[in-house]
Amino acid sequence: MTMRRPFIAGNWKMHCTRNEAMNLVNDIADAIGANPPADVAVAPPFLAIALVVEQARTTPIDVGAQNCYFEKKGAFTGEVSLDMLKDVGATFALVGHSERRHVFGETDELIHKKMDAVLTEGLMPILCIGEKLDERDGGKTLEVVKHQLSTAFEGMGAEQALRTTIAYEPVWAIGTGRNATPGQAQEVHKFIREWLTERFGDAAERVRIQYGGSVNPGNARELLSQPDVDGALVGGASLKADTFAAIVAAAEQ
């Protein structure tokens, strides 16, 4: 019996005007009901966060951001600080999503600074890690994941690890419709858990590790039934209330 409650989060990416976001969160709230079998969260675009927080106030849905900057304030044109996110009621931030790493060129060093800032400001990071296709084909998956983990958590202890969610998202499975098999996911999740245990001891048993990459209502149950898969980070399928709610329902094992 695991002590980890499943955690399903939706990453809306660059989708939804405020009106669309309001309708989507209301529809998700209706579809999952008051007592879903998992913790549920959504990450709308920055401009919709305040409104979605307001709409979600009486629901079990947590609301966070897809990104943030690590500096407190200043001449950082186009960036959003953690104070600004806290001001509108965000409770978590994705850090190092593969699109941030590979479309916008974020480095492991920048991702570490963001992790540190999110934790220092009292929000929960969802640290996204995962290998690219050529890295998987070259047999480098575990090496890449280990490097991403050790740079992100550099200098941190169990206290920080316990306030973090990790999302393992193989880059080749994001938005491609090609998801990892439950066995492939479990292999890497187990490796991540072992790394956490080596580094943080018993705390590792309480850190949730989500799987992400083309999760849908058809594959969610089997992925979520793997012993070290504690939830899902969902992109495309989180943009429709019925498919997202079906993934939440699949967390009931």
Contact between 174 and ligand PEP (CB under 6 A)? yes
Contact between 219 and ligand PEP (CB under 6 A)? no
N-term to C-term CA, the chain? 11
Report how far residue 120's alpha carbon sits from residue 156's, in angstroms, rounded to the nearest whole number: 11
- Dihedrals phi, psi of 75, to nearest 5 degrees: -85, 75
The distance of closest approach from Cβ of residue 77 to ligand PEP in the complex, given in angstroms and rounded to an integer, is 25
Q: Could you tell me if 56 and 21 are in contact, meaning their C-beta atoms sit under 8 angstroms apart?
A: no
Closest-CB residue for ligand PEP? 235
Sole binder of ligand PEP in the list 148, 184, 214, 219 (CB under 6 A) = 214
Sole binder of ligand PEP in the list 212, 245, 249, 251 (CB under 6 A) = 212
Report how far residue 88's alpha carbon sits from residue 73's, in angstroms, rounded to the nearest whole number: 16
Interface map 133-172 toward ligand PEP (x if CB under 6 A) = ------------------------------------x---
Contact between 130 and ligand PEP (CB under 6 A)? no
The distance of closest approach from Cβ of residue 14 to ligand PEP in the complex, given in angstroms and rounded to an integer, is 11
Question: Among candidates 124, 125, 126, 57, which has minimal Cα distance to 88?
Answer: 57
The distance of closest approach from Cβ of residue 211 to ligand PEP in the complex, given in angstroms and rounded to an integer, is 9
Report how far residue 42's alpha carbon sits from residue 11's, in angstroms, rounded to the nearest whole number: 6
Residue 49's CB is within 10 A of a number of other CB atoms, namely: 25
Catalytic residue among 97, 99, 131, 189: 97
The verdict on whether 169 is a catalytic residue reads: yes
Question: Among candidates 246, 251, 151, 239, which has minimal Cα distance to 211?
Answer: 251
Question: Among candidates 36, 95, 35, which has minimal Cα distance to 64?
Answer: 95
The verdict on whether 97 is a catalytic residue reads: yes
Sole binder of ligand PEP in the list 196, 234, 241, 250 (CB under 6 A) = 234
DSSP assignment of 52-78, as one string? HHHHHTTSSEEE-BS---SSSSSS-TT
Residue 86 or 102 with smaller CB distance to ligand PEP: 102
Contact between 184 and ligand PEP (CB under 6 A)? no
Contact between 44 and ligand PEP (CB under 6 A)? no
DSSP annotation of 109 reads H
Residues that bind ligand PEP (rule: CB under 6 A) add up to a total of 13
Residue 15, classed as helix, strand or coil, is coil
The distance of closest approach from Cβ of residue 250 to ligand PEP in the complex, given in angstroms and rounded to an integer, is 14
Catalytic residue among 99, 106, 169, 189: 169
Site residues for ligand PEP per CB under 6 A: 11, 169, 174-175, 212-215, 233-237
- Catalytic residue set: 97, 169
